[in-house]
Amino acid sequence: MFTGIIQDQGRIEAIEKSGDWILSIRPMYFDLSILKLGDSIACNGVCLTVIGIENDTFRVQVSNETLTVTTAKSWAVGQMLNLERSLRLGDTLDGHLVYGHVDGTASLAEIMPDMDSHRLTFLLPENLAKYVAFKGSIAIDGVSLTVNWVDGKKCGVNIIPHTWQVTNLGALPKGALVNVEIDMLARYVERLSQFTGKL
């Protein structure tokens, strides 16, 4: 479990593509001595398991299911990923509860400056758009964000300068695909409605 507060960025140093993909990632600031085999780490919002630690890199395994549902299939050597270690008891919950179970992808439709911040508009697939609500929470590439407006399959978020600088959102070009995790509460409301027939 995560909070959507990005702790670091990591550079993909190598990708092995025989069967499940194995990624070697070099973080910018993480002290790798606090990582251990089996730890969960969110990479662009995708919960992955640490299977190796060597020199200044850690290795994670990406299954076919993850490659199918997320943007991981397009990751390349040299790409920077948002990183967050899993939440531990006693940690501060500054964002919202993020599980690292990506629901799908969305495309960046528009980037607009908004005073010192930036306003980003994302085009969501229809099966996810219904779960996104005004002033609700959403995780984009693992970043916990507040939905500022919703219009059909589009939603908008504001990115403050700090987030723009310490995550990879500031480097996204128009049209880029991002990982989306909807708020868990919306999933349970949908599931309950299937049994009750009403909300």
Render pLDDT for 1-14 as a digit per residue (tens, 0 to 9): 888 899 999 999 99
182 — phi, psi (to 5°)? -75, 165
Render pLDDT for 92-144 as a digit per residue (tens, 0 to 9): 667 677 888 999 999 999 999 999 999 999 999 999 998 999 999 999 999 99
The pLDDT confidence band at residue 91, using thresholds 50, 70 and 90, is low
- Map out the domains of the chain with their CATH numbers: 8-85 (2.40.30.20), 104-196 (2.40.30.20)
